Structure 1
Amino acid sequence: MGADRQAGELSAAVEAILAPAVSKIGFDLEGLKVTKAGRRLLVRVLVDKDGGISLDDVAVVSKACSKALDESDTAGGPFADAAYTLEVSSPGVDRPLTEPRHWRRNIGRLVAVQFGEEPVIGRVTAADKRGIELEADGVRRSATYAELGPGKVQIELR
């Protein structure tokens, strides 16, 4: 079995363990990557929630993830015979906006996005399960998620 396939299967096994643990405490699992770091495995977990996350939130999620992984190890889980390092963080401002929850969490922010073939920079004024509203150059525009490319939050210096 190739190393990429093994890494993919390991990541899928870890996600199956961590997604419910993270969701149970009110967070969304936004990303997960498992890589080898010498003899150890490095587990990088990205989480978010409405309103953003604080350092205290990172600590809470880290404890929940550690507990879930440790409990799975005693049941022959993916790390039963391997040491691992766990890193928990937020996705950061450079994460592409691809899910309705990403757009909802960025209402009020300036974003760059493809509206069909047209690149647009505007402020997100609304987002729901169907699509978004954006104000660009004084004009309100709306689109469904299917009509949009990934959005990118623009850094505004004041």
Structure 2
Amino acid sequence: MSTTQRERLRELLEPLVSSQGLELEEVEVDSVGRKRVLRVVVDSDEGADLDAIADVSRALSAKLDETDAMGEGEYTLEVGTPGAERELKEHRHYVRATDRLVRFQLTEGGELVARILTVEDDGIDVEVPGVKGRKPTAKRLAFEDIAKARVQVEFSRKNKNEENAEEA
């Protein structure tokens, strides 16, 4: 059974990333001209700060140096997090995106922008924002009805403390 370089790298790096308290989200090897770039994306439920990224980057670099996993030739190692507008692929991604605004591409066509309220094994409960003075509406989405989902960046959202202060 043949495995790809990406699969071999994942098997090599995943235990090391886990030992640092993070989860390995993606491993990607790209060729950029004559150079190769190994991109490793890590995350955790609490997020990953710069110190955690630096620590795991040093650990991965040392492990890669002691193996021939990247083969001969130069390469650049880039370690980072999924970013602000991450795509949601795994159940844990939806859990981490609870209370975030998400753009959903639906399997039967169409698009929906809604805030994730709760995540369960079979689907999610969302709140569709009201438009032109209308109240927000609740909706249930089964995971099989979601073709693609991506977190949206919000610049002017009030946090819960501000919302609760206005209601009082």
Are the aligned partners of 2:103 and 2:150 in contact in 1 as well (CA < 8 Å)? yes
Are the aligned partners of 1:28 and 1:49 in contact in 2 as well (CA < 8 Å)? yes
- Inter-CA distance 68–144: structure 2 relative to 1 (3 Å threshold): farther
Question: Unpaired segments of 5 or more residues in structure 1?
Answer: 1-7
**CA RMSD between the two structures:** 2.2
2:3 paired with 1:13: no
Which residue of structure 2 aligns with residue 66 of structure 1?
A: 61
TM-score by length of 1: 0.80
State which of 122, 146, 155 in structure 1 corresponds to 2:144: 146
Q: Within 5 A, what are the aligned runs for 1:49-64?
A: 49-64=44-59
State which of 103, 112, 118 in structure 2 corresponds to 1:112: 103
Deviation at 1:38, TM superposition (A): 5.9
Which residue of structure 1 aligns with residue 77 of structure 2?
A: 86
2:123 paired with 1:125: no
2:148 paired with 1:156: no
Question: Unpaired segments of 5 or more residues in structure 2?
Answer: 131-135, 157-168
Are the aligned partners of 1:96 and 1:152 in contact in 2 as well (CA < 8 Å)? yes
State which of 3, 20, 33 in structure 2 corresponds to 1:25: 20
Q: Which structure has the larger Rg over C-alpha atoms?
A: 2
- Inter-CA distance 80–102: structure 2 relative to 1 (3 Å threshold): same
Which residue of structure 2 aligns with residue 99 of structure 1?
A: 90
Are the aligned partners of 1:115 and 1:149 in contact in 2 as well (CA < 8 Å)? yes
- Inter-CA distance 153–80: structure 2 relative to 1 (3 Å threshold): closer
Q: Match for 1:114: what amino acid? A: Q
Deviation at 1:82, TM superposition (A): 3.5
Deviation at 1:29, TM superposition (A): 1.4
- Taking the aligned partners of 1:112 and 1:67, their CA distance within structure 2 comes to 39
Deviation at 1:23, TM superposition (A): 2.1
> What are the Cα deviations for residues 111-141 of structure 1, in whole angstroms up to 9, with x where unaligned?
1113443421111111133321101132211
Percentage of pairs with the same residue? 35
SS of 1:150's partner is strand
Are the aligned partners of 1:100 and 1:131 in contact in 2 as well (CA < 8 Å)? no
Are the aligned partners of 2:85 and 2:153 in contact in 1 as well (CA < 8 Å)? no
